[in-house]
């Protein structure tokens, strides 16, 4: 591990709490539509529409709001009024304006690594949204820059490593998603430290038991310092 | 100009046609609402809401769609039905799926500069959307990478130049917006070549007569090669 030059951190649910806010919003959304369908069916319909729309909208809150609007219209067979759409727009702006809740240990780890490694934030959200969160979080000073990727798959990580002018084995990714943050990085020859978050988005779930020299399974982000310091 | 190492190109309305598609969409939007307000008032209301929402949504098609939805509800005082919202969602997806129309001369210029300078695309749109356009355009092979910035103002250009590991005087920006592509770059010590596009978004318009050693006013992107080759 002595070769590592750049450590990339996933943002949502790795540095700060995110998924619970989506769930909170989803609950409010289900409340609005409960006259039309039971909760679990609304959730399922919304997820279907979100995934169908990823190719149009990508990841992030704005695409999520658009999918909620589409889902509300579809689920109710157009029987809602535009007041409901207004409430969804308001829910979306609330999400975008949320305060940041750092995950325990994050700041200590960044402070310890800062200056020894080049730290970047690597995320597939909206740049504006992620920049705002980074500024609000007080963590901006630890990061060299933000890398926004449209997908977290092997081609994008290859491009990222090339763009950072390093070799894959000099790259470490720390994140909560095995599918997005860890597996593709291991596959291109990088290092991956997995720090699970208690809630993981359905679409990000993979079942995996990983045995790999460049892989570490952690239970808290603090344990990054057990391997890298 | 012999020191230039990296040439950044704005994307929308510099490499390919964009603003006319927004205008086309806006016309379709005004058509939907013409029973409620005259065209110019709808346009003005939409622009007001778009600008108010920039701090929430940033630039790009998704934020534009959300602002159209909000404007449709506001303008009509909630008297439209959700069918109109569905049509706006469809307009948005159409915009995201548009074919790319390259601006004359772009490919020749990129081909001539490719390999001599590091070429990047610098844009404030959505990454997913801009990546898709770049891939569709057939121009991806000329660019080292895409830089997405949340705003095109001096702090963001300073960050960009730092991130590219060059000095400002080694940086040239080519673009159609004096306000976003040229003035802030000149102000931080970089070079700016302005190639006007026939339509410029209201919010991007500035009146300026620029006298600056690092500035060139072009009439076609082909003229880049008169100064840099």
Which strands make up the sheet holding B145-148, listed edge to edge? B145-148, B118-123, B6-9, B171-175, B191-194, B215-217
Contact B161, B168 (CB under 8 A): yes
Which position has the higher pLDDT, B164 or B126? B164
| Biggest distance spanned by C-alpha atoms of chain B | 61
By the 10 Å C-beta count (0-12 exposed, 13-18 middle, 19+ buried), B182 is classed as buried
Which position has the higher pLDDT, B136 or A205? B136
Name chain B contacts of A85, Cβ cutoff 8 Å: 69, 73, 82, 85
Q: Do A128 and B93 touch (CB under 8 A)?
A: no
- Average confidence score pLDDT of chain A: 92
Q: Which of A58, A81, A85 sits opposite B69 (nearest CB)?
A: A85
Q: Where do you find CATH 1.10.150.240 in chain A? A: 19-96
Name chain A contacts of B86, Cβ cutoff 8 Å: 70, 73, 78
Residue A200 pLDDT grade (very low, low, confident, very high; cuts 50, 70, 90): low
Nearest to B24, CA basis, from B92, B103, B124: B92
The predicted pLDDT at position B155 comes to 94
Residue A82 has, within 13 A of its CA and on its CB side, a CA count of 19
- Average confidence score pLDDT of chain B: 92
Name chain A contacts of B65, Cβ cutoff 8 Å: 66
Helix (H, G, I), strand (E, B) or coil at B7: strand
End-to-end Cα, chain A, rounded Å: 10
The predicted pLDDT at position B2 comes to 65
Chain B residue closest in CA terms to A165:
B164
Q: Do B85 and A82 touch (CB under 8 A)?
A: yes
The predicted pLDDT at position B152 comes to 93
pLDDT higher than 80, residue B24: yes
Could you give the CA distance from residue A111 to residue B145 in angstroms, rounded to a whole number? Answer: 30
Hey, is the C-beta of A122 within 8 angstroms of any chain B C-beta? no
CB neighbours of residue A33 within 10 Å: 21
Residue B74 has, within 13 A of its CA and on its CB side, a CA count of 17
Q: Where do you find CATH 3.40.50.1000 in chain B? A: 6-16+100-227
Angle at the Cα of B228 (from B222 to B229), degrees rounded to 5? 90
The predicted pLDDT at position A204 comes to 58
Hey, is the C-beta of A93 within 8 angstroms of any chain B C-beta? yes
Which position has the higher pLDDT, B206 or A142? A142
The predicted pLDDT at position A84 comes to 96
Name chain A contacts of B93, Cβ cutoff 8 Å: 56
Helix (H, G, I), strand (E, B) or coil at A124: coil
Tracing tokens 């050693």 back to the chain, one arrives at B213
The predicted pLDDT at position A203 comes to 60
Query: Between the CA of residue B219 and those of A172, A186, B3, B50, what are the distances in Å?
Result: 46, 49, 24, 30
Chain A residue closest in CA terms to B92:
A56
B80-100 pLDDT per residue, tens = 999 999 999 999 999 988 899
Nearest to A106, CA basis, from A132, A146, A142: A142
- Beta strand spans in B72-224 (E): 118-123, 145-148, 171-175, 191-194, 215-217
Tracing tokens 């510099």 back to the chain, one arrives at B14
Helix (H, G, I), strand (E, B) or coil at A125: coil
The predicted pLDDT at position B127 comes to 78
pLDDT higher than 80, residue A199: no
Which position has the higher pLDDT, B99 or B67? B67
Beta B6-9 vs B145-148: how paired, if at all?
A: unpaired
pLDDT higher than 60, residue A201: no
Q: Which of B83, B97, B145 sits opposite A78 (nearest CB)?
A: B83
pLDDT higher than 60, residue B51: yes
Q: Which of A65, A81, A128 sits opposite B58 (nearest CB)?
A: A128
The two tokens of residue A225 are: 């310092």
**DSSP per-residue string spanning A11-62:** -BTTTB--HHHHHHHHHHHHHHTTTTS-HHHHHHHHHHHHHHHHHHH-SSHH
Please state the φ and ψ torsions of residue A145, each to the nearest 5 degrees. -170, 175
Name chain A contacts of B123, Cβ cutoff 8 Å: none
Nearest to B25, CA basis, from B63, B68, B62: B68
The predicted pLDDT at position B187 comes to 97
Residue A202 pLDDT grade (very low, low, confident, very high; cuts 50, 70, 90): low
Tracing tokens 């729309």 back to the chain, one arrives at A53
Could you give the CA distance from residue B152 to residue B185 in angstroms, rounded to a whole number? Answer: 9
pLDDT higher than 70, residue A205: no
The two tokens of residue A180 are: 């997005």
Please state the φ and ψ torsions of residue A213, each to the nearest 5 degrees. -60, -35
Residue A43 pLDDT grade (very low, low, confident, very high; cuts 50, 70, 90): very high
Within 174-213 of B, beta carbons closer than 8 Å to A belong to: none
Helix (H, G, I), strand (E, B) or coil at B8: strand
The predicted pLDDT at position B124 comes to 87
B165-216 pLDDT per residue, tens = 899 999 999 999 999 999 999 999 999 999 999 755 556 556 567 889 999 9
pLDDT higher than 70, residue B17: yes
Does the interface predicted TM-score (ipTM) exceed 0.85? Answer: no
Angle at the Cα of B42 (from B38 to B36), degrees rounded to 5? 55
Q: What is the topology classification, in CATH, of domain B19-96?
A: DNA polymerase; domain 1 (1.10.150)
pLDDT higher than 70, residue B104: yes
A149-176 pLDDT per residue, tens = 888 999 999 999 988 889 999 999 999 9
Residue A158 has, within 13 A of its CA and on its CB side, a CA count of 5
Q: Do B66 and A66 touch (CB under 8 A)?
A: yes
B105-131 pLDDT per residue, tens = 999 999 999 999 999 999 987 777 888
Q: In sequence order, what are the beta bridge partners of B16?
A: B12, B102
Helix (H, G, I), strand (E, B) or coil at B174: strand
Helix (H, G, I), strand (E, B) or coil at B11: coil
> Residue A194 belongs to what H/E stretch?
strand A191-194
Q: Which of B58, B82, B128 sits opposite A82 (nearest CB)?
A: B82
Which position has the higher pLDDT, B207 or A9? A9
Mean pLDDT value across residues B152-169: 93
Could you give the CA distance from residue B50 to residue B45 in angstroms, rounded to a whole number? Answer: 9
Q: Which of A65, A97, A163 sits opposite B66 (nearest CB)?
A: A65
The CATH number of the structural domain formed by A6-16+100-227 is 3.40.50.1000
The two tokens of residue B41 are: 């008032």
Residue B132 pLDDT grade (very low, low, confident, very high; cuts 50, 70, 90): confident
A59-77 pLDDT per residue, tens = 889 999 999 999 999 999 9
Could you give the CA distance from residue B16 to residue B41 in angstroms, rounded to a whole number? Answer: 29
């Amino acid at each position: 591990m002595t070769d590592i030059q750049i450590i990339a951190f996933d943002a949502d649910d790795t540095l700060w709490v995110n998924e619970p806010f989506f769930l909170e919003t989803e609950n409010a959304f289900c409340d609005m539509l409960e006259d039309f369908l039971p909760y679990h069916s609304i959730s399922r319909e919304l997820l279907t529409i979100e995934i169908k729309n990823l190719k149009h909208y990508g990841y992030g809150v704005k695409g999520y709001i658009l999918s909620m609007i589409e889902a509300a219209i579809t689920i109710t067979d157009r029987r809602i009024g535009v007041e409901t759409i207004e409430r969804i727009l308001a829910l979306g702006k609330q999400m975008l304006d949320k305060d940041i809740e750092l995950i325990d240990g994050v700041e200590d780890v960044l402070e310890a690594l800062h200056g020894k490694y080049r730290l970047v934030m690597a995320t597939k959200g909206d740049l504006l949204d992620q920049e705002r969160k980074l500024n609000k979080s007080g963590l901006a000073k630890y990061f060299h820059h933000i890398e926004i990727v449209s997908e977290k798959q092997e081609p994008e990580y290859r491009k990222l490593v090339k763009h950072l002018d390093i070799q894959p084995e000099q790259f470490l990714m720390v994140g909560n998603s095995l599918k997005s943050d860890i597996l593709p990085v291991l596959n291109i020859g990088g290092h991956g430290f997995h720090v699970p978050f208690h809630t993981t988005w359905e679409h990000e779930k993979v079942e995996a038991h990983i045995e790999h020299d460049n892989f570490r399974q952690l239970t808290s982000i603090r344990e990054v310092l057990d391997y890298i310091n």
